[in-house]
Amino acid sequence: MPRSSIAVSDEVASMLSQVAKGYKQTSYLIANECLEASLKICNEGGNPTQIYGAWKMLQIGKQIGSLQFIGKDLLEKIVHEIAMEHPEKNLKMWREGGHNFGVLMQLCFPTIQDIVTLMDQLKQSFAIGTVEMMKKRDEIEGEVYELTLRSSLSREFLMFIKEYWSGILSAYGLEVIDSKITNLGASRTTFAYHGKLLKSEIIK
């Protein structure tokens, strides 16, 4: 098999050497496996930068027992036939569930600067649509963040998803100061941020 030499940074070379030593493999073998996995993702339209976050999301998903491959239609039925019978109680439950997930997410994304990455990874995991988070200045609150969700979900389902995301961000010290759902399948929530995390604990 022909081999090629490629240049990498000193930091990457050091990490490669450490990983190879830990796995008791050659640096060539480890580098080849990493490049092969990254190239497969690129060939399918992905980006190598998604690998680490997606893997961390999977590990945390295992810790909290999250379920994958549940279709949107089933979740819509659950929301319309069950959750909407007691909306206030269930909205509180979704928010607390989001907060608990946010506490665990801090293992991967520990600071406010990591929030955008967090949003991107959750968007891919839940496939709910597009998620945008912008940092702004408010004359009264100072530093605020605006979270926008755009989705083909029903207005009722989007209401619960919005509450779940608000719970996630509450674990990062963000407090809701304004929130609304438009008639065009979009939710926009504004959060105040006071420069530090709140004490984050799992809600039981």
| Per-residue pLDDT tens digits for 100-119 | 988 887 877 787 777 766 66
CB burial of 27-37 (b: ≥16 within 10 Å; e: otherwise) equals eeebbeeeeee
Based on the fold, state whether residues 122 and 165 are members of the same structural domain.
Answer: yes
| β pairing state of 174-181 and 186-193 | antiparallel
17-64 pLDDT, tens digit each: 999 999 999 999 999 999 999 999 999 998 887 787 778 777 877 877
Query: Are 94 and 189 members of one domain?
Result: yes
- Phi, psi angle pair for 9, to nearest 5°: -70, 160
Dist CA 27 CA 34 (whole Å): 11
Domain hosting 77: range is 71-193
Residue 94 CB burial class (10 angstroms; 0-12, 13-18, ≥19) = buried
Same domain? 30 vs 129: no
Residues 167 and 83 occupy one common structural domain: yes
Shared domain check, 34 and 120: no
Asked whether residue 55 is domain-assigned, the answer is no
Tokens of 70: 């549940």
Kindly state whether residues 30 and 75 are assigned to the same domain: no
- 2 domain residue, yes or no: no
The answer on 107 and 23 residing in a single domain is no
**Predicted model pTM:** 0.71
Same domain, 102 and 38: no
| 78 and 151 housed in the same domain | yes
Does residue 97 lie in a domain region? yes
Whether residues 128 and 169 fall in one domain: yes
